[in-house]
Amino acid sequence: MPLYAAYGSNLDPQRMAARAPHSPARGTGWLVGWRLTFGGENLSWEGAFATVVEAPEDPASQVFVMLYDVAREDEPSLDEWEDGGTGLFTKLRVRVHTLDGDETAWLYVLDAYEGGLPSARYIGMLADAAYAAGAPSDYVADLRARPCLSTGPGALDA
C-alpha cells in the first residue's frame, strides 16, 4: 500500500477515516528540514491553504505528520477531497523520519506562491487535528499561535 503523510486536517485519524475508510493509520513522524507554511490566499474565500516547503535555511525545521497506509480504492477519493479538481495541489514523495527509521511517503503540496494568512477557523482545525494525532504540545501550541485572519469571509473572530 502507498504511504501517505498528512500534515493538515488529515492528521486527525477520525477525519481521515471518514475520507479514506480503508486506509489505517500507521504512526507518526517528522519531515525534517521542512516547514509548514501557507499560500494561495487569493485562491480561497477563507484565507491561505496549508502546505509544506523545504527549509534549506533552517535544516532543524520539522513538520509533524501522521502516516496512513492508503488503500487503492481510497486514493481517488482522497485526491478529490484534497484537490477538488482545482489543480492547486500536487503529489510529492518525501522522506519521513519515524522512531522505526525513515519511510518514503507521498503528500500534497500547494502549487501556488507562498504567502498570505489562513483563517482563524482553519488554524484551529489544524491545531485540533495535530492534537488528535498526538503531536507534541509545543507543536500544537505553535500552530495555535500562528498569525491568521481574525475577521472576514468564513473566518471566526480570534
**4 is an annotated ligand-binding site residue:** yes
Q: Is 82 a catalytic residue?
A: yes
Asked if 64 and 5 count as a contact pair (C-beta separation under 8 A), the reply is: no
**6 is an annotated ligand-binding site residue:** yes
**Of 46, 57, 75, 82, which residue is the catalytic one?**
82
**112 is an annotated ligand-binding site residue:** no
**7 is an annotated ligand-binding site residue:** yes
Q: Angle between the 137-144 and 120-132 helix axes, to the nearest 10 degrees?
A: 170
Residue 101 CA to residue 112 CA, distance in Å, equals: 32
Question: Up-side HSE of residue 155: CA atoms within 13 Å toward CB?
Answer: 20
**108 is an annotated ligand-binding site residue:** no
How far lies 1's CA from each of 9, 23, 50, 151, in Å? 21, 9, 25, 42
Task: Identify the burial level of 46 via C-beta atoms within 10 angstroms of its C-beta, where 0-12 means exposed, 13-18 middle and 19 or more buried.
Answer: middle
Using the structure block, give the residue that is written with the C-alpha cell 498569525: 147
**137 is an annotated ligand-binding site residue:** no
**8 is an annotated ligand-binding site residue:** yes
- Give the residue ranges of the annotated binding site for substrate: 4-9, 122
Residues making up the binding site: 4-9, 122
Positions annotated as catalytic residues are 82
